[in-house]
Structure 1
Amino acid sequence: MTIIKTNNSGWATVRHVGYFCLLLLAEQLPLTGLSFASAIVGTQQTQLTYVLGSLFLIISILITILFWQVYRKAVTDNNNEFEQRLHKRDWLLVAAGFITMLLINTATIPFVKTSGNANVDSLTSLLQSFTFFMLLFVAFIGPILEEILFRGLFLNWFFPHRRWLSIGLSSVIFGTFHVDLSSGQVDPIYWLSKILLGLVLALVYSRTKNLKASITLHILNNTLAALV
């Protein structure tokens, strides 16, 4: 994989860590804001639900545009990888990744706790209250944001010359990002399943050298999960 030309100085690393943390917080703003607003005003009022949901999508789209601009600048020296079309081999890798994800989900879901998972419970509650808006976010906007952050930026910013270390760390951080550590009751199977899904996404991105491949795969996985 062609790696972007980055300054390997300690300052560059510190700067990238700072950017990554800020973007990580920004990615959580829409869901956090929607959860907070719905808890205060409730969601029984139809008009207010539409207003909150619309505002949620607008903010999410604006943050996606911000992420995209950061990513575009980060890969300027990487042959503008996103502008390259997906070839037959890339689609085969996406298909193989999707099958692998199905196997991971099939193997882990029966062992995942059905209750007590704060992260899942929160998303389920928002899906019930803001179904249309949350489906758009979970199926499309969320995958784009997470792929830019955990694959497009992380794999190019951190340990670019030690690919397996970068892939491994991004997968663990991705999996940890999807559990609620504050609850003190992390479901290890659920956590492991997200790490494995992150690993598949990272491998597909690394192999195809195109973020469109991992975004497509992430959208397929999330869409299927939202529908079932």
Structure 2
Amino acid sequence: MTNKNIQPNPFKSLFHIIAFILLFLVEQIPLSILTLTKANLGKNYDAYIRIAPIISLVLMAIAGTILFLVFRRAQQFDTIPFSGKTWLTVLAGIVLAMLVNYGLLPFMRAQNSNVDALNTLGQNSQAILIFSVLVISPIFEEVLFRGILMNWFFPNRPIISILISGIVFGFAHAPISNDTDWIYALSKILLGVILATVYYRTKNIKADISVHFLNNFLSIVLAI
């Protein structure tokens, strides 16, 4: 992301790895509050449904503040304002994202851990599910996986930075296990690469947030 020839500092890299993992956990916690079920909680489920959405929203505000503050310090270049070229890049990004999504969809399993978690979230709070998919996920994930990760790791080697961003993003949505849906993981890796490329080319985090939002919005609309 920058042309400065800076030698890598192993201690700084280790700090960034640890910090990124902690930030990932911070980003995950707000929605994880709403992934418990009646089978888990029994008679306490009704009280949980009343209070858990409020706790989740408060934690979202805290997580968002932390991510934004870290991102402001992490970005190594000045944000370039939107232009006609930016919008063309956004359009190209959403077209590629939809091609990936629907090109690989027939080969994916109907269920996986990420889809199951979203289904549980929707059963507990449909409003927060929609808010998360359309607002929170596009903002939080782009700030974390693009805005922070790409500025912390290999900022002088954009191809490596883009690939790492895509791979980490993909396996964050489809963790490696004996039951991993590898086609679903591939779709998320490719989506991550597309979003990372949009960020790199536009130098504006709002551009890849826009692509992410449109991708999620169109996925919901076309699924209805």
TM-score by length of 1: 0.88
Please tell me the root mean square deviation across aligned C-alpha atoms, in Å.
2.3
**Number of the residue aligned with 2:162:** 167
Number of residue pairs matched?
221
Instruction: State the shift of 1:177 in Å.
Output: 0.4
Instruction: State the shift of 1:179 in Å.
Output: 1.1
**Number of the residue aligned with 1:106:** 102
Instruction: State the shift of 1:44 in Å.
Output: 6.9
**Number of the residue aligned with 1:78:** 77
CA distance in 2, matches of 1:214, 1:171: 13
- Could you give the per-residue CA deviations for residues 31-74 of structure 1, whole angstroms, max 9, x where no partner exists? 222214764267974x7534321221221122011100111122
Counterparts of residues 47-196 of structure 1 (less than 5 Å): 49-75=49-75, 77-79=76-78, 81=79, 84-115=80-111, 117-182=112-177, 184-196=178-190
- Could you give the per-residue CA deviations for residues 200-227 of structure 1, whole angstroms, max 9, x where no partner exists? 0000000001111001111111222234
Q: Identity percentage over the alignment?
A: 37
Contact kept, 8 Å, 2:35 with 2:124, in 1: the verdict is no
CA distance in 1, matches of 2:4, 2:62: 26
Contact kept, 8 Å, 1:6 with 1:157, in 2: the verdict is no
What SS does structure 2 have at the residue aligned with 1:160? coil
Contact kept, 8 Å, 2:30 with 2:60, in 1: the verdict is yes
**Number of the residue aligned with 1:8:** 8
CA distance in 1, matches of 2:149, 2:43: 37
Give the 3 Å change call, closer, same or farther, for CA 57–42 of structure 1 in structure 2. Answer: farther
Give the 3 Å change call, closer, same or farther, for CA 4–21 of structure 1 in structure 2. Answer: farther
CA distance in 2, matches of 1:3, 1:26: 31
CA distance in 1, matches of 2:53, 2:87: 34
Contact kept, 8 Å, 2:150 with 2:165, in 1: the verdict is yes
Instruction: State the shift of 1:3 in Å.
Output: 6.1
Counterparts of residues 208-227 of structure 1 (less than 5 Å): 208-227=202-221
For 2:214, give the aligned amino acid.
L
For 2:16, give the aligned amino acid.
H
CA distance in 2, matches of 1:129, 1:6: 48
Stretches of structure 1 lacking an aligned partner (at least 5 in a row):
none
**Number of the residue aligned with 1:40:** 41
CA distance in 2, matches of 1:217, 1:155: 17
What SS does structure 2 have at the residue aligned with 1:119? helix
Give the 3 Å change call, closer, same or farther, for CA 42–12 of structure 1 in structure 2. Answer: farther
Contact kept, 8 Å, 1:57 with 1:137, in 2: the verdict is no
CA distance in 2, matches of 1:20, 1:4: 23
